[in-house]
A and B are shown apart, each in its own frame.
Chain A
Amino acid sequence: MNEAQRLVDLIPRLRRYARALVGDRATADDLVQDTLERAWAKLHLYRRGTDLRAWLFTVMHNVHVNRVRASRPTDLLEEDMPELAQRAAQGDGLLVRDLDRAIARLPAEQRAVLLLVTLEEMSYEEVARSLEVPIGTVMSRLSRAREKLRLMMLGQSASAKLKLVR
Chain B
Amino acid sequence: MSDAPITEAELQAYADGKLDPERRSEVEAWLAVRPEEAERIGDYRKLGEALRTAYDSILAEPVPQRLIRKRSRWRRYAVAASWMGVGILLGGALGWQLHDVRPASVASADAATVMARRAAIAHATYSPEVRHPVEVGADQEEHLVAWLSKRLGAPVRAPKLEELGYSLVGGRLLPGENGPVAHFMYQAQPGTRVTLYVRTEAVENRETAFRYAAEGKVRVFYWVDRKLGYALSSADTSKDELFKIANSVYRQLNP
Q: Which residues of B contact A49 (CB under 8 A)?
A: none
Chain B contact residues, CB within 8 Å of chain A:
8-9, 12-13, 15-16, 18, 40, 43-44, 46-48, 50-56, 58-61, 63-64, 66-69, 99-104, 212
Q: Which residues of A contact B101 (CB under 8 A)?
A: 2, 4-5
Q: 17 additional contacts, CB 8 Å, given A119-B56, A164-B46?
A: A4-B101, A12-B59, A12-B60, A16-B59, A29-B66, A33-B66, A40-B69, A99-B54, A118-B52, A121-B16, A139-B8, A139-B12, A146-B12, A153-B47, A163-B50, A164-B47, A164-B50
Do A143 and B67 touch (CB < 8 A)? no
Please judge, given known A-B contacts A124-B18, A139-B12, A143-B8, whether A19 and B55 are in contact too, CB under 8 Å: yes
Please judge, given known A-B contacts A29-B64, A29-B67, A139-B12, whether A150 and B47 are in contact too, CB under 8 Å: yes
The contact of A13 among B8, B43, B59, B68, by CB within 8 Å, is B59
Main secondary structure of the interface of A (DSSP, over half): helix
A interface residue count range (under 10 / 10 to 19 / 20 to 34 / 35 or more)? 35 or more
Q: Tell yes or no: A44 within 8 A of B by CB.
A: yes
Q: Tell yes or no: A8 within 8 A of B by CB.
A: yes
Do A92 and B54 touch (CB < 8 A)? yes
Q: Which residues of A contact B43 (CB under 8 A)?
A: 150, 153-154, 164-165
In the complex, the chain A residue whose C-beta lies closest to that of B11 is: A143
Assembled-state Cα–Cα distance A13/B52 (Å):
12
Do A15 and B66 touch (CB < 8 A)? no
Please judge, given known A-B contacts A20-B51, A44-B104, A165-B43, whether A36 and B69 are in contact too, CB under 8 Å: yes
